A = this chain, B = another copy of it.
């Protein structure tokens, strides 16, 4: 162990996942030691390969919904120095899977939060940064989703267990935490891509380059943020230290988003330019999928942050990154 033991230590859960891999480099660059913990169900150890030789990074394979394994991960963090914050990014990210089997979201999304909070109390770790979701809002029709809207009625088990996690973390701030940031993520795109509509489309085209089947009629509209902007936003909020102990805050692009139809066209242009698109019926892709929403980012704008890419820029960049990840040559498959 060559790094100074006086470094502040950041614990990153879901530490081998999509968001974490993009965050950890920034934390290491800022002089933090990092304990990355992941159950490797969806995350992959090789995503951390770029930092493998960094002396201030340690990886622990652990199911954080298990009390003993969670305690073991926190103990490993203490060997690196004094843990000061947890970035809690571990969750089930497969919304339809959690719809079919509620146990998945219970265990991987909520019980991880529950056990991490216990470990933070036991280890006197004061700050939690939580990867919450726009899914906590549910379907408010055309109303703008700002942080003060109610009621909060998620329509998926995924959203329900994110809201449950927010609630438990907020209560913990009342009794033992110093600071809780509840970052409500939009749809985030980039690499390493593990799931989501862009990766689905790219992989479908890889299998059948002549046509692309789209769930729903393509009129669903969603806002997308590039993962680099997401990490930037979280670090900005952390640095500004807004008033109050608990801050629920939307992170997202300023625009209203792009349509699935447009996304399908962009993926085809990059991956298989001669493919045709076949649409399904209705404007919901699957149970729990909110067809469109207007997402207020005024609160984070008031803290002085704005994204560098809008939804179309984020999607275009991510399609190219994912195409390269999946081995699609420049110019596409055709």
Contact = CB atoms under 8 A, between A and B. Distances in A.
Contact of A147 (B110, B151, B155, B167): B151
A194 to B, nearest CB: 23
Contact of A174 (B118, B147, B156, B170): B156
Which of A138, A159, A167 has most B Cβ within 10 Å? A167
A148 B288 CA distance: 21
A171 B155 contact: yes
A248 B163 CA distance: 15
A-side interface mostly: helix
A250 to B, nearest CB: 11
A160 interface: yes
A258 interface: no
A132 to B, nearest CB: 11
A167 B152 contact: yes
A163 B165 CA distance: 10
Contacts of A118: 102
A53 interface: no
Contacts of A205: none
B175 A154 contact: no
Interface in A142-162: 147-157, 159-161
A218 B67 CA distance: 40
Contacts of A175: 99, 287-288
A126 to B, nearest CB: 17
A246 interface: yes
Q: How large is the interface on A (under 10, 10 to 19, 20 to 34, 35 or more residues)?
A: 35 or more
B117 A153 contact: no
B171 A160 contact: yes
A138 B246 CA distance: 12
Contact of A154 (B102, B148, B167, B287): B167
Interface string A19-49: 0000000000000000000000000000000
Contacts of A168: 102, 157, 160-161, 164
Contacts of A157: 168, 171
Interface in A168-208: 168, 170-171, 174-175
A213 B288 CA distance: 51
Contacts of A148: 149-151
Contact of A171 (B147, B248, B288): B288
A256 to B, nearest CB: 21
A77 interface: no
Contact of A149 (B106, B150, B156, B161): B150
Given A153-B246, A160-B168, A161-B164, 12 more contacts: A102-B117, A102-B168, A106-B114, A148-B151, A149-B150, A151-B248, A153-B170, A155-B170, A155-B171, A156-B171, A160-B167, A175-B287
9 contacts: A138-B170, A147-B151, A153-B170, A153-B246, A154-B171, A155-B170, A156-B171, A156-B174, A157-B171
Interface of A: 99, 102, 106, 110, 114, 117-118, 136, 138, 147-157, 159-161, 163-164, 166-168, 170-171, 174-175, 246, 248, 287-288
